[in-house]
């Protein structure tokens, strides 16, 4: 008797089965070839939303597919459980972030199980877990010991809404906080930094070997921002315009040392420590006023200001000497010169730099071209290549040679040197918040800053705190937390109250997954060596820069410190960035308040239908509009498969046995083509066309089954087995159920099917015959037809003859067996 497709019953049963049997648990000594699939661990904000479903469906498909291919797949899940939202919620509701977060983790875990995502749940890692925090702190201390951590006063991005500092990367282009949307201010504060710039070159070089989307690599390269040039000194001029030897020259960095003869003024940053010294008395009041006006404005705000260059720069009255010409030139201060990039001072060459050109015009500076523009050039500053002019010993050299010659000259004269500069800055990791991993440092009046001894880790967060909207972390007033003992002298000490940026937690969780039970080390190097690099990392493109850069830095540093094996210098060998989901044209997110919860769909059409809809709609790397989803179509398709494949299906009634008919043989070939096609499409992440393949094949089987001859039993069984096996990674529950009913056993433990190459080729093919490139006829020909026979067959066609209209072919292009093109 046919039974209706009941996704609820099937899905609940199999999800329980996978948990009970530990189907996707894998041990570190598993004999199968290791394969590590990782979807970025989520921030637990509550039950899963559609973005999660999309992300974790992609990952799950790969986990199940690789498992059937025979790999021992490591498929862990964890939770990025520290962070601002939980603490902000605590201030509003009074509920402790831990309570709230752990409840959310439960909800999210349940959601993930309900969409059928398969994980090794024994390996769960939670950022806020003391057993994880302990090692986050331990790594901090390791880095501290190695000089990769330092403390410094720095102008920082302060978000008044979040009441904490932000990394540069967390400030959006319009000067607002990526999280709260508040306008970010500039403040000087004592902060902790990771010395990521130490790895700038390696981070840049190693990108080449990664199988990552090119887009992401380009973004990282730009972020690192390597530029080659020269750094040299501009001597300070005395009132007569001569170089003073009693004061240090002002250092500048340039990528265009070849244009030095065109330097007609110089500009320093308003924050430059020598600004005051270089300003003349008569200009001091104006310069101070100028600098004060900038105070408190964030760097981003300054950089995006649209004021005219007259307002943005001011003469200091001081002069410096252009070492190329020996001439004294005026020194300006301008807001667009950043203290945090290069040396905080620049040489200005209006002839070859458009902004310098405009600045020179406004402030009445001389403009001298030092590169000959082409005759038809009618612009202002000329940035292209050409011979040097007005440049003394450089005259006649092209830009590249002139650069080298200029640097050689600077070095020979002891004035400067070749220099590589990076845009990348050190990672500001401290946050003035409670719900994060405490920085394991204490301050002793006598011994100063002291690391907490490893055996005292973790420095735990106290639970008995009150969350008040004061803007201050409760840690700063918690006596029990603050009171510490100096590990060096044993005297009283005060504990650091800053906690770490949550990007620290996510910079090594993929390593912890390899050995999450370890109590003696963050992970066993052998376990890391076995699983890393992650074979396939999956996540949103929004993490293209920050998270991925930080994780790469951590991996390299841990390898250098001997914590990770030296073979592991990159965390993620392959990266896939899947598209986001939009609703009403905007990104679906909690902050936008336009989340679609999957519950209703899971209750109604089921997880398999929802998964299929996510896979089918578009190529996985592209953004999708929720409005375009076709859940009903997918549910309909699954029910169609069910009716066809369930034991006792009326569609299979009266199946023939004995010799297969030609139609049976054709269907068998289609079965093998399906297997070959799906294998290829899974490997290429072409999931949308794979789903189309299942539908196409199912339609084919339906027509064949309902034809006059009826189905041939063995052919039908083989067809349905292949369909279920290949579809199992995409629709795991339905396929598991049907497989068990039909064959017994567990489909996800079956080997991946293989196509018989002999059955992938047909005896005959449809040959297209064109006249002048337009299709005029189609002829069935043997697949092994030769050129002469193909041409003859084409010319024998009546329709072709009609189109030739008595004329003789000028030329015949033959591409057997598929195509003949007759040119007249």
Q: What are phi and psi of 349, to 5 degrees?
A: -125, 90
DSSP letter (8 states) at residue 118: -
Peptide bond into 663 cis (omega under 30): no
Minimum CB separation of residue 186 from RNA in Å reads 14
Determine if 566 is a binding residue for RNA (CB under 7 A).
no
Q: In the bound complex, what is the minimum distance in angstroms from residue 579's beta carbon to RNA?
A: 9
Residue 497 Rama label (left phi>0; alpha psi -120 to 50; beta): alpha
Applying CB under 7 A, the site for RNA has a residue count of 85
Using CB under 7 A as the binding rule, the residues of this chain from 593 to 612 that contact RNA are: 604-605
The strands making up 164-166's β-sheet, listed across from edge to edge, are: 164-166, 149-159, 185-194, 427-428
Kindly tell me which residue out of 617, 667, 734, 747 binds RNA, with binding defined by CB under 7 A.
617
Of 296 and 745, CB closest to RNA:
296
Q: Shortest gap between Cβ of 162 and RNA (angstroms)?
A: 19
Residues in 319-348 that interact with RNA by CB under 7 A? 335-339, 341-344, 346-347
Cβ count within 10 A of residue 175: 21
In the bound state with RNA, the residue whose beta carbon lies nearer, of 218 and 247, is 218
CB nearer to RNA: pick between 370 and 616: 616
Residue 294 half-sphere exposure toward CB, CA atoms < 13 A: 25
Q: Which stretch binds RNA (CB under 7 A): 317-325, 390-398, 483-491, 773-781?
A: 773-781
SS (H, E, C) 704-726: HHCCCCCCEHHHHHHHHHHHHHH
Q: Single out the residue of 372, 649, 689, 743 in contact with RNA (rule: CB under 7 A).
A: 689
* Tokens at 73, concatenated: 């797949």
Contact status: 423 vs RNA (CB under 7 A):
yes
Looking only at the bridges linking them, the beta strands covering 250-254 and 227-234 are: antiparallel
Backbone angles phi, psi at 347, to 5 degrees: -90, 145
Residue 274 touches RNA, criterion: CB under 7 A: no
DSSP string, 527-571: HHHHHPSBSEEEEEGGGTTHHHHHHHHHHHHHHHTTSS-TT---S
Alpha-carbon gap, residue 627 to 816, rounded angstroms: 45
Residue 632 interacting with RNA (CB under 7 A): yes
CB 534 within 8 Å of CB 36: yes
Please report, as residue ranges, which positions from 199 to 218 form the binding site for RNA (by CB under 7 A): 214-215, 218
CB of 772 to RNA, least distance (A): 6
Stretch that binds RNA, among 102-110, 457-465, 634-642, 662-670 (CB under 7 A): 634-642
Among the residue ranges 157-165, 298-306, 369-377, 714-722, the one whose residues contact RNA (CB under 7 A) = 298-306
Helical segments of 617-661, H only: 631-645
Region of 402-410, 476-484, 517-525, 808-816 interacting with RNA (CB under 7 A): 808-816
Binding residues among 474-503 for RNA as defined by CB under 7 A: none
Assign residue 414 a region: left if phi > 0, alpha if psi is -120 to 50, beta otherwise? left
Which one of residues 702, 710, 789, 809 is an interface residue with RNA (CB under 7 A)?
Answer: 702
Report the nearest approach of RNA to the CB of residue 289 (Å): 18
Write out the two tokens for 466.
């009150």
Contacts of residue 218, defined as CB under 8 A and 6 or more positions apart, other chains included, come to: none
- Distance (Å, whole) CA 504 – CA 427: 10
Q: Which of 691, 722, 781, 785 binds RNA (CB under 7 A)?
A: 691
DSSP string, 42-74: PP--SS--HHHHHHHHHHHHHHHHHHHTT-EEE
User: How far are the Cα atoms of 106, 337, 611, 723 from residue 729, in angstroms, in the given order?
Assistant: 25, 55, 10, 11
Of the pair 375, 627, the CB lying nearest RNA is at: 627
Among 637, 682, 685, 752, binds RNA (CB under 7 A): 637
Q: Which of 182, 198, 411, 680 contacts RNA by CB under 7 A?
A: 680
Residue 466 or 623 having the CB closest to RNA: 623
3-class state of residue 301 by DSSP: helix
CA 812 to chain centre: 51
User: What is the per-residue binding string for RNA in 145-184, x denoting contact by CB under 7 A?
Assistant: ----------------------------x-----------
Contact with RNA (CB under 7 A) among 12, 688, 743, 750 = 688
Of 12 and 305, nearer to RNA (C-beta) is 305
Residues 784-803 interacting with RNA (rule: CB under 7 A): 799
Our CB check for RNA shows the closer of 589 and 689 to be 689
Q: Does the footprint of RNA cover residue 654 (CB under 7 A)? A: no
Q: Which of 151, 302, 574, 673 binds RNA (CB under 7 A)?
A: 302
Binding mask 737-766 toward RNA (x if CB under 7 A, else -) reads: -----------------------------x
Q: Which residues ranging from 218 to 237 are in contact with RNA (CB under 7 A)?
A: 218-219, 222-223, 225, 227, 229
Place of tokens 């760097």: 299
Q: Which stretch binds RNA (CB under 7 A): 186-194, 435-443, 654-662, 813-821?
A: 813-821
* Residue 201 or 688 having the CB closest to RNA: 688
């Amino acid at each position: 008797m046919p039974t209706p497709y009941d996704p609820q019953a099937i899905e609940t049963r199999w999800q329980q089965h996978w948990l009970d049997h530990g189907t996707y648990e894998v041990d570190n000594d598993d004999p199968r070839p290791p394969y590590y699939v990782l979807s970025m661990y989520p921030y637990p904000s509550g039950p899963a939303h559609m973005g999660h479903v999309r992300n974790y469906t992609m990952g799950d498909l790969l986990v199940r597919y690789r498992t059937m291919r025979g790999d021992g797949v490591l498929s862990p899940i964890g939770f990025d459980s520290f962070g601002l939202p939980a603490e902000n919620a605590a201030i509003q509701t009074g509920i402790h972030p831990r309570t709230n977060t752990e409840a959310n983790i439960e909800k999210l875990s349940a959601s993930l199980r309900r969409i059928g995502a398969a994980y090794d749940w024994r390996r769960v890692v939670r950022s806020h877990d003391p057993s994880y925090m302990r090692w986050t702190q331990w790594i901090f201390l390791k880095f501290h010991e190695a000089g990769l951590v330092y403390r410094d006063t720095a102008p920082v991005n302060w978000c008044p809404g979040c009441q904490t500092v932000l990394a540069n990367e967390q400030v959006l282009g319009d000067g607002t906080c990526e999280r709260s949307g508040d306008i970010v201010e500039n403040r000087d504060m004592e902060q902790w930094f990771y010395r990521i710039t130490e790895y700038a070159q390696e981070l840049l070089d190693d990108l080449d070997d990664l199988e990552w989307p090119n887009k992401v690599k380009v973004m990282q390269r730009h972020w690192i921002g390597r530029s080659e040039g020269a750094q040299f000194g501009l001597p300070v001029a005395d009132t007569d315009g001569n170089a003073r030897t009693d004061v240090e020259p002002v250092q500048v960095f340039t990528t265009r040392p070849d244009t030095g003869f065109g330097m007609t003024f110089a500009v320093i940053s308003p924050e430059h420590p020598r600004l005051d010294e270089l300003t003349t008395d008569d200009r001091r009041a104006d310069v101070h006023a100028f600098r004060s006006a900038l105070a408190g404005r964030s760097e981003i705000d300054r950089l995006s200001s649209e004021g005219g260059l007259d307002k943005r720069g001011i003469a200091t009255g001081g002069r410096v000497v252009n070492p190329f010409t020996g001439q004294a030139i005026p020194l300006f201060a301008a807001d667009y010169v950043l203290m945090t990039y290069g040396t905080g001072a620049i040489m200005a060459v209006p002839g070859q730099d458009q902004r310098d050109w405009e600045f020179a015009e406004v402030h009445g500076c001389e403009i001298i071209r030092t590169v000959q523009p082409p005759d038809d050039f009618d612009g202002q500053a000329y940035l292209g290549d050409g011979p040097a002019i007005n440049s003394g010993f450089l005259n006649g050299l092209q830009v590249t040679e002139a650069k080298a010659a200029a640097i050689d000259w600077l070095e020979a004269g002891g004035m400067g040197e070749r220099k590589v500069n990076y845009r990348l800055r050190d990672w500001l990791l401290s946050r003035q918040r409670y719900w994060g991993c405490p920085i394991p440092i204490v301050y002793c009046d006598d011994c100063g800053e002291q690391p907490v001894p490893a055996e005292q880790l973790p420095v735990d967060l106290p639970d008995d705190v009150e969350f008040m909207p004061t803007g201050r972390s409760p840690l700063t007033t918690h006596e029990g937390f603050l009171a510490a003992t100096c590990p060096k002298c044993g005297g009283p000490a005060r504990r650091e109250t800053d906690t770490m940026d949550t990007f620290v937690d996510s910079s090594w969780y993929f390593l912890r997954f390899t050995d999450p039970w370890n109590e003696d080390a963050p992970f066993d190097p052998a376990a890391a060596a076995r699983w890393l690099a992650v074979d396939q990392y999956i996540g949103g493109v929004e993490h293209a820069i920050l998270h991925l850069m930080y994780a790469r830095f951590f991996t390299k540093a841990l390898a250098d410190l001997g914590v990770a094996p030296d073979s592991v210098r990159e965390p993620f060998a392959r990266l896939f960035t899947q598209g986001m989901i939009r609703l009403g044209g905007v990104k679906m997110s909690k902050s936008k308040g336009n989340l679609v919860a999957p519950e209703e769909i899971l209750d109604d059409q089921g997880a398999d239908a929802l998964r299929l809809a996510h896979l089918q709609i578009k190529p996985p790397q592209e953004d999708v509009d929720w409005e375009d989803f076709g859940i009903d179509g997918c549910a309909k398709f699954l029910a169609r498969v069910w009716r066809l494949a369930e034991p006792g299906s009326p569609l299979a009634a009266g199946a023939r046995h004995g010799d297969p008919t030609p139609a049976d043989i054709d269907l068998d070939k289609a079965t093998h083509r399906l297997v070959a096609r799906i294998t290829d499409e899974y490997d290429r992440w072409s999931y949308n066309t794979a789903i189309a393949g299942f539908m196409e094949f199912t339609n084919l089987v339906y027509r064949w089954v309902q034809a006059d001859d009826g189905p041939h039993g063995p052919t039908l069984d083989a067809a349905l087995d292949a369909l279920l096996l290949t579809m199992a990674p995409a629709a795991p529950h339905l396929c598991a159920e049907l497989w068990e009913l039909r064959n017994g056993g567990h489909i996800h433990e079956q080997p991946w099917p293989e196509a018989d190459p002999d059955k992938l080729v047909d005896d005959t093919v449809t040959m297209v015959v064109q006249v002048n490139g337009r299709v005029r006829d189609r002829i069935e020909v043997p697949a092994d037809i030769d050129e002469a026979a193909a041409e003859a067959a084409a010319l024998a066609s009546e329709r072709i003859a009609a189109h030739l209209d008595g004329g003789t072919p000028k030329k015949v292009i033959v591409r057997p067996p598929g195509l003949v093109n007759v040119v007249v």
